Structure 1
C-alpha cells in the first residue's frame, strides 16, 4: 500500500521552499563552489535557479497546481525513469517534483553537469520528511521502469525513442525561445529582456535566442538598455564564445552588430550560437505570428508585451526564466501524464 499523502507532501515541499529562501551553510558553500566543477554554474546563476524554485514551493501554489489533477493516493507507485538535462542549475527539479507529488517513485539519471545541487535538495527533503527516502533513487543506468521522462538534444532523442519507445514516455528535444519587438517598448522592458537573453549565459531553452523586429527597427535603444549586462563579458567561457563567433563573422565578412559582449546577426534560424542573438524582420504582427506558429515545435516560449495568436506560451519581458508550476517544458503536461499512468 502506498504511504503517499498529498497534503503532507505539499507541506514538506513548502518547508523545503522556506529552507531555500533561507539557505544553510552547506547550501551557501555549494552555491559558492559549484563553479569549480562547472564553470557555467556561477553563484549568481545558482541563486537565480534556487530563487525561481523557491518561489513555487509554497502550500498555496502547490495545492492549487495539484488540485487540477486526479491523483490517486492509494495506488501502488510506479517507477518513473528520469533522464535530466544539465544545461542550467537544477533544470531537472520540476520533473522530480512532479513524480513525487504524483505519488510515484523517481529513478534519477542526473547529468554529470548538475548532480550535486539536485542531490543536496533531495537529501534536505528527506531530512524534512523521511518518507521520501524510498521515493527516489539515483542511478547510472535506468532499469525496471514503468515510464520515462527524458530530456536531451535532437540527436539523443532518437536514441531515447529507440530505448524507451515501448513504455509510456515524454521525450524532449532542443528548443529555444523568441522575442517579438514592436519598437514601442520602454527602456525598462528592453532592460528586462536582457534577463531573458543573458540569464544562465543563454544556455537554457527558455532563453531568448532570436528577435522578431519590424522593418526599419532601430537597435540603438535595445543596445543602450542592455548595457548594464556588460559584466557577462568577464566570464571566461562566455567571452571565448563571443570572440570565436566574432572572428568567424569578420573572416566571412558577415554583416552583424556588436556592442562588445553580444553579437546581433540577421538570420532565419531560431537557435543562435552562444553570445549571438539572431534577428529577423517581419511585415506585420500577423506575419510574425505565422512565423512563430510554423516553428511551434521548436519554440519553448515567446517574450512580448502584446497578446499574440500563437501556439506557444507568451510571457512578459524578464519572465522567461521564471516559469510557474504549470509552465511545462515543450508544452507537455507532465503531471497529467503521470496521473494517467
Structure 2
C-alpha cells in the first residue's frame, strides 16, 4: 500500500497534468480524453469540462490545501484495518465524483467505484494516468460494474435510487445522498456585478449540478428586468441543441397551459413553490420576512447551499473547497472512522 506522502506526490503530478503543466504528449492525451467525454455526453462541453478540471486543480489538488485537509484527520492514510469501500458516483456534471474518490484514495482504504454511464471517460483516464506514474496505485482504485462485499458505501443518486441504496446498504456503514439543489435570496438592491455573478450560480454546467441555483426568492414588487438582463450572460447556451430542446419544450408547456412566465430567450422565469426547476427554467417566489425565510431554507433537507448576502457569496456556488461536503456530511471523517 502506498504511503500518504507518496499519494500526495502523485496528486501533485496530477495537478500539473490537469493544469496544463506537463509534456506536450501528455496534454494531447488529456485533450483526447476530453473530446471523448464530450462525444459520449453532449452536456460535457469543452467549456464546462475545462471549468471542472480547473476547479479541481485550484480547490482540490493544491498541495498546501491537501496537506492541511488530511492533517485534520489523525491516522488518515494509515487505517488500523484496511476496508473495501464502494463508491457509487454521480454523473450530472464533469468529474463530480472526484471528491469522493480523492477522499477514499487518501484515506488508505481500497476503493471500488461504480461510475455513472454519463461520466465514464474522464475519471478512468485519471486513474490510468495515476497507475502509469505509480503502478502500486492500481491496487487502491478498482472500477467495477457491481459493488459487492464492500465494508462500507458512499452512494449518490436520485431520491428513488437513495431508497434503493438505503435498503441494500442498511447493514453497512454508509453515506447515502439524494436529490439536492440550491437557492438564492435577493434583496432587490443587488448590483449588476452581483447579478452577473448569480448568473454563474444559475447557468454553469447548464444548471445540472446540485450547487446550481434553481430558485430565487425576491421581495414583493421586485423588478425582474435587471436579473433577466444579467442572465443574458449565458445566452449562448441556447445554441446548444440539448439545452434548446428543453427550453422549447418548457416554453411550449407554459404557452399551452396559459401559465405566466418571463424570458430573455435563453432562460424561463416561472413562479413556482418547488425548489427544483426543470432544465432551462429558474423558479422564483416572493417573501416578506427575509430572516424567517432564510431560517426555513437552511432547515430544508433539499437545499445544498444558500446563495446571497450573508450566505454563499454570489458567483461562488460552483467553487466548493475540500471541506464543502455534499449534503454537509464529512466524507473524510466517515472514512477515517471505519
TM-score (norm 2): 0.95
Alignment of 1:177-326 (within 5 A): 177-295=182-300, 297-305=301-309, 307=310, 314-326=311-323
Alignment of 1:51-90 (within 5 A): 51-55=54-58, 56-72=60-76, 73=78, 75-90=80-95
**Residue 333 (str. 1) matches residue 336 (str. 2):** no
Q: State the distance in 2 between where 1:156 and 1:118 align.
A: 22
Instruction: Decide which moves more: 19-28 or 169-178.
Output: 19-28
User: Once the 2 structures are TM-superposed, how far is the Cα of residue 269 of structure 1 from its aligned partner?
Assistant: 0.6
User: Is the 2:79–2:336 contact (alpha carbons within 8 Å) kept by the matching residues of 1?
Assistant: no
Write the deviation string for residues 186-212 of structure 1: whole angstroms up to 9, x where unpaired: 111111111111111111111110001
User: Once the 2 structures are TM-superposed, how far is the Cα of residue 291 of structure 1 from its aligned partner?
Assistant: 3.1
Give the corresponding residue for 1:310.
none
- State how many pairs are aligned: 331
User: Is the 1:206–1:301 contact (alpha carbons within 8 Å) kept by the matching residues of 2?
Assistant: yes
Q: State the distance in 1 between where 2:39 and 2:120 align.
A: 14
Give the corresponding residue for 2:23.
none
Q: State the distance in 2 between where 1:325 and 1:293 align.
A: 21
User: Is the 2:79–2:107 contact (alpha carbons within 8 Å) kept by the matching residues of 1?
Assistant: no
User: Once the 2 structures are TM-superposed, how far is the Cα of residue 215 of structure 1 from its aligned partner?
Assistant: 1.1
Q: State the distance in 2 between where 1:291 and 1:273 align.
A: 23
**Residue 28 (str. 1) matches residue 25 (str. 2):** no
Give the corresponding residue for 1:12.
10
User: Once the 2 structures are TM-superposed, how far is the Cα of residue 294 of structure 1 from its aligned partner?
Assistant: 4.1
**Residue 117 (str. 1) matches residue 114 (str. 2):** no
Give the corresponding residue for 1:127.
132
User: Is the 1:16–1:128 contact (alpha carbons within 8 Å) kept by the matching residues of 2?
Assistant: no
Write the deviation string for residues 288-307 of structure 1: whole angstroms up to 9, x where unpaired: 21331342x101111112x2
User: Once the 2 structures are TM-superposed, how far is the Cα of residue 37 of structure 1 from its aligned partner?
Assistant: 1.1
Q: State the distance in 2 between where 1:269 and 1:252 align.
A: 18
RMSD of equivalent CA atoms: 1.3
Q: State the distance in 2 between where 1:263 and 1:330 align.
A: 28
User: Is the 2:10–2:133 contact (alpha carbons within 8 Å) kept by the matching residues of 1?
Assistant: yes
User: Is the 1:71–1:103 contact (alpha carbons within 8 Å) kept by the matching residues of 2?
Assistant: no
SS at match of 1:338: helix
SS at match of 1:315: coil
Q: State the distance in 2 between where 1:68 and 1:286 align.
A: 33
User: Once the 2 structures are TM-superposed, how far is the Cα of residue 287 of structure 1 from its aligned partner?
Assistant: 2.3
Which ranges of structure 2 fall in alignment gaps of 5 or more residues?
A: 21-25
**Residue 165 (str. 1) matches residue 176 (str. 2):** no
TM-score (norm 1): 0.94
SS at match of 2:210: coil
User: Is the 1:77–1:104 contact (alpha carbons within 8 Å) kept by the matching residues of 2?
Assistant: yes
